[in-house]
Structure 1
């Protein structure tokens, strides 16, 4: 891919004349693209945006990134941080490591994710304020949600009409049979149908809002780094550039050291803004001497700023799924690419847990290939989770992929609610509406085996085509394949009837929602576990901010992408108001 607007000839390997900037933004993901746009709008500010992955300039975005069906981009290893794996509680069932796909491409994970443009709930920000954060109430953040939105379907004061990010929904009238039957079953279970997922309600079934226009993904890069923005003389974008460390002296950040090809280059900035995501941002801080002194000492890293909270407080949405073979008339038609058409919030009623603490997502196919198109699934996750994990440097290779332990379901409240969610999904599948089109539901897993089968290979395509042909033509063969290969747990009814067995299955098969957050959390300046103050400044370090999902003190009751973009919009205003001081 080409790198836009490289000028001059004194930057080795890039042709870029300047090495000193007002703002150096590390990471061109959901937050970094927003900040690059907003901060470079002032022509007097020199802005550098650094991205480790390839560029995807307008008119040259790969088809699998643009596709409304996201699994092509999601399974394309060229767009990911390689070697990034996560554990789930050492010594527990299912504690072996799994791959964790994080975008290493212009737009970051907004270029590979499911395109779900869901706002957090207003109550989430009451929670943030409870952690001593002024300026993060719902009233403070709602204008920034509206600013980023161009909501194609919803008008009125509660929705944005002029923002860079288009948001639309596939209307219920266009849903295929499985999605419609599941929606009716959830309505029968007491969840009202609501047209607007972003209306602030904590209970209902909703058409899924997506950042998508004309059946094409609109990533943060596509929305915020259009051609006219890239042409700004004061904005420089460098891709295929890995940031090794933040340079600092006497608690002041001075710049970054980058690796570009075989060249190691030092860049100077008045303010560094780290936007590498909840796994890579804490790793970069730790490599730069900012973190827990004991851990940094083990890694042989000199301490620049002791902040024990760096890499702690890792949160995600623990998730399980129930799937079923679909009757042909209920499947997604070939003319429709989008498969995630609705979502539902509901309340567990568990003591101390807020309304809307649980979520159900409907998938009208489970993979790209022929067999995947024969199955539908309902996924349930703990929308307001309490379990916390850690990000640490790999002591044998501190510059490599960090050691990540999500520690899902370590808090009993999360385990109890997810077990109950399986029972709830079983009741939904037992409804008349779903039983007609999706009989014999089973507990599904997302193992390394499923990952391998999900890769776009000729072998997988041919095997799936053969299997799909057999299953559609022989009930006996279908039951054998599902029972022996797809659903080894057997009948769902038997699983949920055995409390111990069900809990064990949930512990072994829980997976993450790819919604990592919280590892550089905001907090009061006298909070020893806080990494940032309420304006995302690294406590104890001048000239350095972190702006991405890692800043969240607690996880939000939604997919994290839209909230991450909101955070960047809000902080761009604050940085501009400060005149670049940090």
Structure 2
């Protein structure tokens, strides 16, 4: 029997929803917390990372389950598509990645925007890259004091279990970073030097163990159901609210029509940058900025050739700065499924230059109330247009990719520099963005509380209001800690009263 009320209901079980649960439990030990997840639990470890499953066939099966209601497998990339990719053409492989879809399918020009739907216990925490770099100055929320955000980032590193170099020591990577540092470090502060990519992982003799939301939740999953519970394969259809206060949620078993209502002291919507605004829209909560300002960085991809007989294992990072707005990730490339030039003799090194995109109110998520998705919510589409500034920065980013390749060794023969469709990084944001004041350009305040509500919060990359060129999970978890502390503080006050 499911209790019909909870102190806190969290819709979504990904990294930020789990961070809310963990911080609320730390600061409010008596809170009754219920987490709602539309997808299934796919691993014995609640929220575990799929990359820890070493059987690749089994992992592929779990990848499909992780898509929730969208379980149609993607086709393998064809030889013709690989050849197009090598020539710098459209990266068709993106359409084959499990769960990836082109949100505005049919627009094959500059308005292409890739999106992703993950629905399983742990959300994207079961599938993310585990990269946890810190945001640059340009990426930081300007109305949150630097010392406050730095402290929140340290808390987020602890929640995620960040390790500064989980594949180190790696002398080949270290030597490469030294060469790159000679070119990029002058004028930078030490924290923005070329460095190993920090990752949410634990080193081990057989390679790192990758962290999912199992690490964030910790001992919460051992608590009795009356204290903490995850309702898997349960869809939130609506947030009930009255006069600026969320009163509860309407739930349904995923794929079923029958619903029930659960009362809540506080509601936190922590789906993702597409589905969080979707649920607010379906609930009649529609601030002017809801779903607008959708943004993501581009990825300029380049394969370089490193002349070495000793394999490089570690991932490296060139952080973005005010002077160079690109974050560059560098890691060994696996070409076992790709056509390979006979001229390629050294180790192939993959590179992604993360290039920021201009923020525009007109770029938005649209909802079709007449067409429902598998969750029973209004169907999503995306309207997005590339700016002239985007095109100029992309040319700069391509030159940066070639410069880095020359320092590493040389651009790999047979592989062109190419730009992935915006959104392909799955780091899209801005659709429930935070703001300094309620002036119609934001959805929530600096603590992620929805404007006009006492007890309704949003979480995830969607709250980030700035341009980014960095993996945002650490950043969005840090922002979640502000809201979580406020929820716990106000909950204790209500309890005392």
Q: TM-score, normalised by structure 2?
A: 0.78
Say which SS state the counterpart of residue 309 (structure 1) adopts. Answer: coil
Structural RMSD (CA): 3.6
The match for 1:205 among 167, 170, 194 is: 194
Match of 1:26 in 2: 11
1:364 has 2:332 as partner: yes
1:404 has 2:374 as partner: no
1:316 has 2:324 as partner: no
Match of 2:396 in 1: 420
Q: Can you give the 5+ residue segments of structure 1 that lack an aligned partner in the other structure?
A: 1-8, 10-15, 130-135, 151-162, 292-306, 348-353, 446-505
For the 8 Å contact 2:49–2:210, the answer to whether it is kept is no
What's the CA shift string for 1:144-173, capped at 9, x where partnerless?
2222334xxxxxxxxxxxx56242414664
Distance 1:70 1:345 in 2: 32
The match for 2:148 among 140, 143, 146 is: 140
Higher deviation after alignment, 36-45 or 541-550: 36-45
Distance 1:264 1:193 in 2: 59
1:528 has 2:440 as partner: yes
What's the CA shift string for 1:295-329, capped at 9, x where partnerless?
xxxxxxxxxxxx11000011111111112567683
Rg larger in structure: 1
Residues 1:537 and 1:29: Cα distance change in structure 2 (over 3 Å): same
Distance 1:63 1:563 in 2: 20
Distance 1:412 1:237 in 2: 45
Deviation at 1:367, TM superposition (A): 6.0
What's the CA shift string for 1:414-448, capped at 9, x where partnerless?
321221111222233334x513xx64263255xxx
Distance 1:397 1:88 in 2: 15
Residues 1:274 and 1:70: Cα distance change in structure 2 (over 3 Å): farther
Match of 1:345 in 2: 319
Residues 1:403 and 1:61: Cα distance change in structure 2 (over 3 Å): closer
Say which SS state the counterpart of residue 393 (structure 1) adopts. Answer: strand
Match of 1:40 in 2: 25
Deviation at 1:94, TM superposition (A): 4.6
Deviation at 1:244, TM superposition (A): 1.2
Say which SS state the counterpart of residue 118 (structure 1) adopts. Answer: coil
Match of 1:80 in 2: 67
Q: Can you give the 5+ residue segments of structure 2 that lack an aligned partner in the other structure?
A: 71-98, 341-345
The match for 1:285 among 280, 286, 303 is: 280
The match for 1:563 among 471, 475, 480 is: 475
Distance 2:307 2:190 in 1: 35
For the 8 Å contact 2:113–2:424, the answer to whether it is kept is no
Distance 2:347 2:275 in 1: 37
Distance 1:413 1:546 in 2: 30
Say which SS state the counterpart of residue 19 (structure 2) adopts. Answer: helix
Match of 2:170 in 1: 174
What's the CA shift string for 1:320-359, capped at 9, x where partnerless?
1112567683655xxx6xx6x0111255xxxxxx345111
Match of 1:434 in 2: 409
Residues 1:580 and 1:242: Cα distance change in structure 2 (over 3 Å): farther
Deviation at 1:114, TM superposition (A): 0.7
1:55 has 2:20 as partner: no
Say which SS state the counterpart of residue 142 (structure 2) adopts. Answer: helix
Distance 1:517 1:360 in 2: 19
For the 8 Å contact 1:74–1:113, the answer to whether it is kept is no
Deviation at 1:510, TM superposition (A): 5.4
The match for 1:538 among 440, 447, 450 is: 450
For the 8 Å contact 2:366–2:380, the answer to whether it is kept is yes
Distance 1:367 1:395 in 2: 44
Distance 1:85 1:140 in 2: 37
Distance 1:363 1:75 in 2: 25
The higher-RCO structure (CA 8 Å, 6+ apart) is 2
Deviation at 1:57, TM superposition (A): 6.6
Higher deviation after alignment, 166-175 or 358-367: 166-175
Say which SS state the counterpart of residue 185 (structure 2) adopts. Answer: coil
Deviation at 1:535, TM superposition (A): 2.5
Match of 2:132 in 1: 117
Say which SS state the counterpart of residue 402 (structure 1) adopts. Answer: strand
Distance 1:572 1:146 in 2: 15
- How many pairs does the alignment contain? 447
Distance 1:200 1:69 in 2: 40
What's the CA shift string for 1:550-572, capped at 9, x where partnerless?
11221344211011111222221
1:574 has 2:480 as partner: no
1:443 has 2:416 as partner: yes
Residues 1:19 and 1:232: Cα distance change in structure 2 (over 3 Å): closer
What's the CA shift string for 1:75-108, capped at 9, x where partnerless?
923213537634579967254564x334322222
